[in-house]
Structure 1
Amino acid sequence: MNLDQHLIKLPLVTALLLTLAGCADFSGIAPQSKLLTPHALSASNQADATVFPQQHWWQAYGDTQLDDLIAQAIAHNPSLKIAQSRMLQAQAAASVADSALYPQVNAAAQSTRERLSANSIYPPPLGGSTVWMNSATVSASWQFDWFGKQHAALEAALGQVRAAQADTQAAQVVLAANVAQQYFSLARLQAQQQITKRMLQHGEQHEQLISQRAAAGLDNALVQHQSQAQVTQIQRDLAALDEQVAIARHALAVLTGAEPDATAQLTARLPLNIQADVPHAIPAELLGHRADVVAARWRVESELQSVHEAKAAFYPNINLTAFVGLEAIGLSQWLAADSRTLGAGPAISLPIFDAGRLRAQLQGRTAQTDVAIESYNTTVLNALREVADKLASGQALQTQLQAQTNTMTQLNAAYDLALARYRGGLSNYLVVLDADNAVLQQHSALIDLLARACDVHAGLMLALGGGYIEPQQSNKSADDKIAKVLK
């Protein structure tokens, strides 16, 4: 029977094997988890797209130092490079899966010096002699993807590629926010350093005046010792701030991918005004503006395709193979026409009884899909919580900043009055120092609130996606496929 006759009978054999496929049944095995949707979460559909930050949102602070630090971090941070390497790894795996859809061609050649057995298939004089055994073949094979197994594997791999791409974007967004927040932390500490130095100067002046008054008999030793203790306390606080500034510098330098001393001369600044369009409600579009949510959704799609791949294993596996080459005993006849060898034919296999192996594999894939779905749901809920937290913190901070500004206004007025009374000879300079210290203490509180506002703003930009925009075609593709399987 020739090759053409084999190919004519192939559909009949396939039909017979499909009839036997009932022995390997995957019924009753399906994912149980459900994806959270904006409707189920009561997310607002009325939000303006302008509430989402631009890709380079940090440039709104107007600080070129911060711009340079974030650019350096994106270029050199090792953690971001790890994410990029994982993306390349996923792309390579997808290329491997894609290659399975096409014919495979291989070549092999072998030449072996061998002694032939005198009691085997070769009669004398070959039997018992030592000869060269030579072969050279080119073989080809093609696995027909009639049941979508290879395509499902490819789609699963592509889902992992898209997830890795989104992960890389998420890592970049997180890195930019971390650099901004660390920069604002350093700015706060350095501002507190300057305030503490001024307080130390006032304390030393206060101690000097008290010592003069004690020498003149106008104050006792108790007051003098208390004044000296205040100076040493401020010196202690200043030393602690010096330590915190050094640690903050080191952390910022490492975020940018540099050695710890790279920011030794950096003087950070807090922005005086932070302007941002923030939503009054959590927008439904958030789920497409968060790279981590998008990555989680693509992992769900990848796992669903892996389920399809596992189901396809229940169906026949059909391969077509062929080979052509030269075989000869001895070197002289190896390349002769009569040494040619060739063959071709189909191969069909079907699991009929496997003691539950395929069902167990499918159950494992569906369980992994449920894990991916619940991971997606967790990511969505955390995203909504982060936005809600930052909005609540931002609103509370605005109230605190307004109250603190009013407090500063009153204390500045008190200081001006104390200075005027001193210049008019109505009070001594100790009153002026006390009034100025009160201003410095409240200025310190204002610096903390401003730094906190900057930190919350950067956190809000991160929570809103940090400028990430998912390609709409891939977004719709994933959502449609997931909805079709899970409906």
Structure 2
Amino acid sequence: MSKSQSFRPRGLTAAALAMALSACASTGGLQPKGQIHDANATLATQESLGQYVRSGAEFPAANWWTAFGDAQLDTLIREALSAQPSLDAANARVDLANAQLGLVTQEDKWQGQAVGQVSGVQLPETIIPEPIGGEFKATTIGRVQFSKTFDVWGSNKAKQAQSLDAVHAAQVDVQAARLSIAANIARAYVGLDQAYRAKDVAADERQRNEALLKLASARVKKGLDNELQVRNSQMAIASAQQLSFAADQQIAFLKHAIAALMGQGPDRGNAITRPAMKQAGRLNVPSVLPSELLGHRPDLVAARWRVEAAAKGIDVAKAAFYPTINLSGMAGLAAADVMDLFSAKALLLQVGPSISLPLFAQRRLQGQLAVNDAQYDLAVAQYNGLLAGALREVADALTSNRTLDAQIGSLQMAVDAARKAEAIAVARYRAGLGTQIDVLNAQRPLLQMNQQLVALKAQKNQTLVDLNTALGGGVLMEGN
């Protein structure tokens, strides 16, 4: 072979590659428009969150619910996180993402298959005369086929990165599911604590009116009062009993709800006893907020991974505009007589590269790229929306905690005043200086205010759950 001949294939290959590149479709300048928000630069939080920041504070551990100091709550959440069906679904999605990653990873590997084939043909004598025509000829073939697509433009690499990002997102979704389960159980548990306290208020109301009934009955026997005072006390006792029944119903419903959140039947809920929760105190957040929020809140982390996956999808779509370079081949044995199949003359070989061009595909490829650009913009928009929503949830929880402190303080003062007024009215009634109506009028606002106080304290505990959820699983609590 001459020198000029030896270089000809390379020249032909280079020429073919140049023609291929010149024939490629154009992206037409298509590109995504979405811009990821910088939590510190784009979203102002200092005015809303600055007063709650504690310098040097760190995000607490994932078992944030232990701040309530209730061992039963710890057990319920721990049990739920070990066997909740929604966690099984989240873990199955991780397995699915890993399996898809495995498939994509194999795309740039050598592909091959072994084939055994027997085929025959008989040509009619009317077309081809004897000895070829009119005789059935059989051929036995055994071959191994192989091929490989070279990732010249990074398409397979981008696909693998995209699938890996999807795996990461699915893994973080498991953490988001765990946080959601813990938060929902904690919210129901706070409601259960509120229902028990509401039952206490009803019991106190009944006890006061039973004492009043006893006093009224004694005064009626002495001729100091009429039966109306007795009937009024009996009515108040019945009303308090109705409140107690309603509280019992709420307790049962919440126990069943907690059992369902744990993935179990209602009988598991029946085993739940009265909560022993601490009252949430002043809430604080770490000084690294909001930037560190991005790494602690699972749904934000998962959304960020999906943005990365969408970006890799754009790379895949762009790579489709360029030629595909393959190397394929086949090695085997073929013979008309099976006895000759393994002779040297039966060897069959074929190998060679190929280049495929995306001809007449401009609109299709640009359409696919536009789809991937839009998917990226959507992922960015969802991430930015989650980020803004997360900061709003943090601010709302902190604001609620502050305003609830003021409301509870004010209402507690009113309750104390109402109790003193009730004591004075009862003392006057015992001394014959006042009427039972005076006592009932003094008791009526006390019942309403006690009910409100129970509700406000429950809301305050809910803010602790809400803030933990907003921060992704950890918050600091001062005092109790």
Is 1:144 matched with 2:150?
yes
Distance 1:163-1:122 versus aligned 2 partners, 3 A rule: farther
- Where do 1:271-290 residues align within 5 Å? 271-275=277-281, 278-279=284-285, 283-290=290-297
Of residues 172, 178, 181, the one that matches 2:178 is: 172
What is the correspondence of 1:442-481 to structure 2 with a 5 Å cutoff? 442-467=449-474
Q: Return the match for 1:318 from 321, 325, 329.
A: 325
Deviation at 1:289, TM superposition (A): 2.1
* 1:235 aligned onto 2:237: no
Stretch deviating more after TM superposition (100-109 or 410-419):
410-419
Partner of 1:135: 141
Question: Is residue 53–residue 461 contact of structure 1 (8 Å, CA) maintained in 2?
Answer: no
Supply the distance in 1 between the matched residues of 2:259 and 2:369 (Cα, whole angstroms). Answer: 48
CA distance in 2, matches of 1:227, 1:425: 17
Q: 1:224-274 CA deviation, whole Å, 9 max, x = no partner? A: 444333333333333322222221111101111111221103123252343
Q: TM-score, normalised by structure 2?
A: 0.85
1-structure distance, mates of 2:279, 2:296: 26
**d(CA) in 1 for partners of 2:210, 2:129:** 113
More off after superposition, 327-336 vs 1-10? 1-10
Corresponding residue for residue 309 of structure 1 = 316
Which residue matches 2:162? 156
Task: Give the 5 Å matches for 1:396-475.
Answer: 396-411=403-418, 441-467=448-474
Local SS of the residue matching 2:113: strand
CA deviations over 1:76-132 (Å, ceiling 9, x no partner): 1112221221122112212222222222232233456x5644469998678656676
For 2:179 and 2:356, locate their aligned partners in 1 and report how far apart those are by CA, in whole Å.
Answer: 49
Contact 1:119 / 1:127 at 8 angstroms: preserved in 2? yes
Partner of 1:183: 189
Equivalent residue number for residue 43 of structure 2: 41
CA distance in 1, matches of 2:107, 2:349: 24
The whole-number CA distance in structure 1 between the counterparts of 2:247 and 2:274 is: 15
Moved more, 187-196 or 310-319: 187-196
Residues 233 and 410 of structure 1, relative CA distance in 2, 3 Å threshold: closer
Residues 336 and 428 from structure 1, CA distance in 2 versus in 1: closer, same or farther, beyond 3 angstroms? Answer: farther
Work out the CA distance in 1 between the residues paired with 2:126 and 2:218. Answer: 120
Aligned-pair CA distance for 1:195: 2.7
1:50 aligns to 2:53 (yes or no): no
CA-to-aligned-CA distance 1:344-380 (integer Å, 9 cap, x gap) = 1111011232251111111111111111111111111
Aligned-partner SS, 1:134:
strand
Take 2:207 and 2:130, find their aligned partners in 1: how far apart are those partners?
112
How far apart, in 1, do the equivalents of 2:283 and 2:337 lie?
Answer: 84
Moved more, 116-125 or 4-13: 116-125
Whole-angstrom distance in 1 between the partners of 2:140 and 2:123: 17
Q: CA deviation at 1:64?
A: 1.3
Conservation of the 8 A alpha-carbon contact between 2:203 and 2:244: yes
Per the normalisation by structure 1, the TM-score is 0.84
Q: Which letter does structure 2 place at the counterpart of 1:379?
A: L
8 Å contact from structure 1 (residues 69, 256) kept in 2: yes
Instruction: Between 221-230 and 26-35, report the one with greater CA deviation.
Output: 221-230
Q: How far apart are residue 340 of structure 1 and its match?
A: 2.5
Q: Equivalents in 2 of 1:125, 1:87: separation in Å?
A: 65
Please, which of 13, 17, 27 is the counterpart of residue 16 of structure 2?
A: 13
What is the match of residue 478 of structure 2? Answer: none
Q: Is the 8 A contact 2:279 2:461 kept in 1?
A: no
After TM superposition, give the deviation of residue 306 of structure 1 in Å: 0.7
Cα deviation 1:2-33 (Å, max 9, x = unaligned): 99975674333112211222xx1113211112
Per-residue Cα deviation, 1:315-366 (whole angstroms, up to 9, x for no partner): 1110011121223345433344432212111110112322511111111111
Residue in structure 2 matched with residue 471 of structure 1 by the alignment:
none
- Structure 2 counterpart SS, 1:341: strand
1:391 matches 2:392: no
| Pair 96,5 (structure 1): closer, same or farther in 2 beyond 3 Å | farther
1:29 aligns with 2:35: no
Question: What SS class does the counterpart of residue 30 from structure 2 fall into?
Answer: coil
Cα separation, 2, equivalents of 1:197 and 1:5: 101
Change (3 A) 1:215 1:335: farther
Judged with a 3 Å threshold, the aligned counterparts in structure 2 of structure 1 residues 432 and 97 are, in CA distance, closer, same or farther, namely same
CA distance in 2, matches of 1:8, 1:290: 56
The alignment status of 1:380 with 2:375, answered yes or no, reads no
Shift in Å, 1:200: 3.0
1:295 Cα shift? 1.4
The one-letter code of the counterpart of 2:18 is A
Find out whether 1:244 has 2:250 as its counterpart. Answer: yes
* Cα deviation, residue 136, structure 1: 2.5
Q: Following the alignment from structure 1 to structure 2, what is the Cα–Cα distance between the partners of residues 303 and 120? A: 63
**1:412–1:134 Cα change, 3 Å:** farther
Letter in 2 for 1:250: H
Give the alignment's Cα RMSD to 1 decimal. 3.5
Structure 1: distance between partners of 2:325 and 2:211: 93
Q: Quickly say closer, same or farther: Cα 1:130–1:247, change in 2 above 3 A.
A: farther
AA matched with 1:267: T
CA contact (8 A) 2:330 2:351 kept: yes
Q: Provide the identity percentage.
A: 35
SS of 1:25 mapped into structure 2: coil
CA 1:133/1:437 → structure 2, altered by over 3 Å: closer, same or farther?
Answer: farther
Q: CA deviation at 1:288?
A: 2.5
Shift of 1:212: 5.4
Partners of 1:199 and 1:437 within 8 A in 2: no
Give the Å deviation of 1:391: 0.9
Give the 3 Å change call, closer, same or farther, for CA 426–230 of structure 1 in structure 2.
Answer: closer
CA contact (8 A) 1:6 1:346 kept: no
Alignment of 1:359 with 2:360, yes or no, is no
8 Å CA contact 1:411–1:435 kept in 2: the answer is: yes
Q: How many residues align?
A: 465
Q: Is the 8 A contact 2:57 2:285 kept in 1?
A: no
Query: For the Cα contact (< 8 Å) 2:199–2:243, is it kept in 1?
Result: no
Q: Secondary structure at the match of 2:264?
A: coil
| Contact 1:55/1:467 (8 A) holds in 2 | yes
State the distance in 2 between where 1:29 and 1:120 align: 61
